[in-house]
Amino acid sequence: MTSPTFAPVLERIADEIRRLPGRGRPADYIPALAACDPRSFGMAVAEPDGTVYGVGDWRQPFSTQSITKVFTLALDLAREGDALWEHVGREPSGNPFNSLVQLEYENGIPRNPFINAGALVVTDRLHTRTGDAAGELLAFLRAESGNADLDFDKDVAASETAHGDRNAALGHFMASYGNIDNPVPVLLDQYFRQCSVTASCADLALATCFLARHGIRADGTRLLTRSQAKQVNAVMLTCGTYDAAGEFAYRVGLPGKSGVGGGIIAVVPGRCSLCVWSPGLDERGNSVAGVAALDRFTTLTGLSVF
């Protein structure tokens, strides 16, 4: 689609990204991710009415990975409200996303929902309430994106399971503090399936738009209260890009959540939601071209939470 507002901006960003010299390296611990071309680039913007604009590889499906943590957080928060925050914090970690360090001296309470330990807690609690956390997530993404073909990637899930010792350690450690309800193997299966969802920039921009609509889903029903939507956006801003959250807020100025598949979602409350994808990552696991593109978007449009 074309837009008198966003299309020229997206084309300009794509042209600038094409000339970007260093694009980082794809994640190498999952074969399906390691095989991605770091020069790939796509970007989509969705408006609250469901209109979508895109450029580059914006229809190309990719592995969502940690981006899905935003949606499981929203789905669980909608069910249990503030009780969730007794089990997971809301503070930046300052440590890598799979760190065990803070859990011991914070008694098994993860620092925030977007590091792996925190996401495991959220998935565990959603699974307790639904009986199928990953299935609940997939149904939500299909409904919000309008794409009934979205699905899990079994090869990616199997690959993550084969390299899942650190996540298993996190799960068992938190279970020893009574902060995990389900058997850890069951939780890990749900978590790895959740992270294996494949979707495009268009799909994810649309799926994220409930946060731009202050908690309202695509069908007009309310998932989150306005206050809860604000809470999710706030945690995305402060914790969504791991130990690079300060730099992301400084450069981009939007709530955002990255994944090691190279995707990043972002929200301009009341105006639009975005997804950008380029699989080359920096040393902190964030897309090099993705961060640069979002930086240029907020600079060129003036759209920011600041």
Enzyme catalytic residues: 66, 69, 191, 242, 260
Report the alpha-carbon angle 290-3-36, nearest 5.
30
Phi-psi region of 107 (alpha: psi -120 to 50; beta: other; left: phi over 0): left
DSSP H or E run through 166: helix 165-176
Q: Which residues of 219-238 are buried (b: 16+ CB within 10 A; e: fewer)?
A: eeeebbeeebbbbbbebbbb
Q: Centre a 10 Å sphere on the Cβ of residue 269 and count the other Cβ atoms it contains.
A: 17
241: tokens are 């890009």
The DSSP H or E segment spanning 142 is helix 133-145
Residue 260 sits at the vertex; the CA angle it makes with 128 and 63, to the nearest 5 degrees, is: 70
Sequence-separated (6 or more) residues with CB below 8 Å from residue 156: 30, 32, 33, 63, 195, 196, 198
Q: Give the neighbor-by-neighbor strand order of the sheet with 197-199.
A: 62-63, 197-199, 151-152
What residues form DSSP beta bridges with 267? 273
Contact 66, 257 (CB under 8 A): yes
The rounded distance, in Å, linking the Cα atoms of 174 and 121 is 8
Residues contacting 105, CB < 8 A, separation 6+: none
Residue closest to 78 by CA, chosen among 191, 207, 232, 194: 232
